[in-house]
Copies of this chain bind each other. A is one copy, B any other.
């Protein structure tokens, strides 16, 4: 029985369709039964014949019924489970539980005051104007918009000495996707991936996932130990020479050259993560390994997350020429990761010099914060706290000379609304346990300067370091 309710928002043909589906599901209409001719049903319901036809077409398209030459529209045989089709229920929302901290020493987030809202809005609107001039809106180039790759090639050359044509640059939405690409490119190797220990824990999963052995390489005071490297047989090694994560060590030029010699001799590729090289406060950025590499063994990677903002989700990979064919073969069917508009805006931002202005502004802000924090720690904690690696980038290490464990430090800080982080995740093979004192990894981007003294006095108290 079909009942039409003209007061409902549901279109009438839809009501007819639903009533018939319901009859078929309940068995009121059985396999082989004929539907009423559309003209007749239209009369009965006092609706237009097209309305009924539309409902019938829908049933036909979905296979509930079939139209046989000369015998009208008949109901198809349905599996018994049709009657169990669930009524779609409204999706339930589960709220994320957010912990409540007044201050957070995370190094990832960014001070919102450091984001150039006005400039970025202008870049986005310019990009929109540019896009309106395009003749068609096709799938964008797989490795990124040429405008952005050109702007980056020129910027990286000038600021980091990187020698690369735009074709060598691949735009992605983050370090992890860069690493996925590299894990794929070296998938036919011995699958031995080396990385600094301690080193950034966020790079391990991509290589674990791709079936690699992850080999920890120890550090000396200047960064990765080349002696230790030489003992291993690797396909590729991930390092952070400009500002070792997390120790902050800077690889000196002599070691850079030695490293490149080793890479060439042993045919090992180096992944150079230059992630916050631009944020050096006291000296210029040190030339990248890529700029010193004659043998095409350095794969350069960087992001806009630190010196622009993590919310932009933009990273880049500079591949040596020799790897481009392989990249094309293995990754050629993946589409570009970033919206075209975003890429064009970013190209404008870099090309116009606004990006560099922003880097300089950030440096000034972070340097002031870093100096004040260092002074306050010195004043309030003396030699009970040692800070490492704060002359660049947005994090440093804090060795707390106490008998408390890192977990106790974290929990006691949490009790006064302050979030701090252990560096334990960055260490492999139990190396963290060999440290004489608990170690925290500290970032200042979202910590206000005028609250620092108060926070540190609070920590001193709850950490029993008064």
Chain A contacts to B: CB under 8 angstroms:
14, 17, 54, 57-58, 60-64, 76-79, 81-82, 84-86, 88-94, 96, 106, 108-112, 115, 117, 120-121, 124-125, 128, 131-132, 134-140, 146, 150, 153-154, 157, 161-167, 173-177, 180, 184, 187, 202, 205-206, 209, 222, 250-258, 260-261, 280, 282-284, 286-287, 291-292, 294, 305, 309-314, 330, 332-342, 445-446
Cβ contact within 8 Å between A252 and B340: no
Cβ contact within 8 Å between B252 and A62: yes
Q: Residue A88 contacts which of B92, B94, B291, B339 (CB distance < 8 angstroms)?
A: B291
Q: Residue A86 contacts which of B54, B154, B294 (CB distance < 8 angstroms)?
A: B294
**Closest CB of chain B to A131's CB: distance in Å?**
8
With contact pairs A157-B90, A209-B184, A257-B82 given, residues A339 and B312 touching in the complex (Cβ less than 8 Å): yes
**Closest CB of chain B to A157's CB: distance in Å?**
6
When C-beta atoms are compared, the residue in chain B nearest to A204 turns out to be: B333
Cβ contact within 8 Å between B310 and A138: yes
Cβ contact within 8 Å between A88 and B134: no
| Centre residue among A110, A150, A287, A313 by max chain B CB count within 10 A | A313
> How many identical subunits does the complex contain?
2
With contact pairs A128-B121, A338-B338 given, residues A311 and B137 touching in the complex (Cβ less than 8 Å): yes
**Closest CB of chain B to A125's CB: distance in Å?**
7
With contact pairs A62-B286, A313-B337 given, residues A187 and B165 touching in the complex (Cβ less than 8 Å): no
**Closest CB of chain B to A409's CB: distance in Å?**
22
Q: Residue A337 contacts which of B78, B121, B124, B174 (CB distance < 8 angstroms)?
A: B174
Cβ contact within 8 Å between B313 and A336: yes
Q: Residue A63 contacts which of B125, B174, B180, B253 (CB distance < 8 angstroms)?
A: B253
Q: Residue A94 contacts which of B117, B167, B209, B338 (CB distance < 8 angstroms)?
A: B167
Cβ contact within 8 Å between A54 and B283: yes
Cβ contact within 8 Å between A93 and B137: no
With contact pairs A88-B163, A112-B135, A165-B91 given, residues A311 and B140 touching in the complex (Cβ less than 8 Å): yes
When C-beta atoms are compared, the residue in chain B nearest to A260 turns out to be: B81
- How many Å lie between the Cα of A187 and that of B54 in the bound state? 45
When C-beta atoms are compared, the residue in chain B nearest to A84 turns out to be: B294
**Closest CB of chain B to A279's CB: distance in Å?**
14
Cβ contact within 8 Å between A339 and B337: no
The 5 closest A-B pairs by CB, nearest first: A63-B252, A109-B138, A311-B340, A173-B337, A61-B283
**Closest CB of chain B to A315's CB: distance in Å?**
9
**Closest CB of chain B to A318's CB: distance in Å?**
10
**Closest CB of chain B to A196's CB: distance in Å?**
17
- How many Å lie between the Cα of A371 and that of B409 in the bound state? 71
